[in-house]
Amino acid sequence: MKYAKLSRLSLACAHKTILNFSGQAKGMRLNNIAEQHNWTKFVSMQNQYNLIYREEEREMMPLCQDRKIAVVPWSPLAGGRCARPWGVQTERSKIDDVSPMVWTTSEQDKKVVDALEEVSKKNGNTMAQNALAWMLSKPYVTAPIVGSTSPKHLEEAVKALDIKLSDEEIKALEAPYVPHIKTGAF
């Protein structure tokens, strides 16, 4: 395994201050207040971000990129929804009581996962690898927080670091997305 690449996957995030708020204006105000008082400014934002939940792209991602604030998204595979075909159950998903509070089972999300499955069939990568490669293609993403229930999952995630999706593949993955109600932290 390529251990040097693990920092890009961010198994854990421990850096000065983590940003956890919604709205660009609020973020700018908080950093301006910190600067005025010579306090520590926010240096990273930990947010939900994946192929089926991309709400921060409109405000927070541009702010973070402009202000050089690290973006460390949690659940890049949407609780496993972006790691397997829609409707497929795993032992974990059968007992997971948290994910239903965070993600819905909307027809629109199914379209995103179906597009991910189609791209994966065409390029030979797993759905999880393509979902992570998509996220890592975003210039504002510093490192996703990857949860793993097995060494195999971690090895699969590390392989995503070497995948470069084509512009056409990225467009195919993003096209079915529709805006969601912001959920924040369930």
Picking from 133, 128, 141, the residue whose alpha carbon sits closest to that of residue 169 is 133
Q: So what's the pLDDT on residue 165?
A: 98
Q: So what's the pLDDT on residue 87?
A: 83
C-alpha distances out from residue 119 to 80, 85, 93, 124, 173, Å: 17, 12, 23, 8, 8
Instruction: Return d(Cα 15, Cα 79) in angstroms, integer.
Output: 24
Cβ burial 114-128 (10 Å sphere, 16+ → b, else e): ebbbebbeeeebbbb
Per-residue pLDDT of the chain (186 residues; tens, 9 = 90+): 443 443 444 333 333 344 455 556 676 788 888 889 999 888 898 888 999 999 989 888 998 999 899 999 999 999 889 999 998 877 777 777 777 666 666 888 999 999 999 999 999 999 999 999 999 999 999 999 998 888 998 999 999 999 999 999 999 999 999 988 766 554
Q: So what's the pLDDT on residue 13?
A: 34
Q: So what's the pLDDT on residue 29?
A: 81
Number of neighbouring beta carbons within 10 Å of residue 27: 20
Contact (Cβ atoms closer than 8 angstroms) between residue 98 and residue 76? no
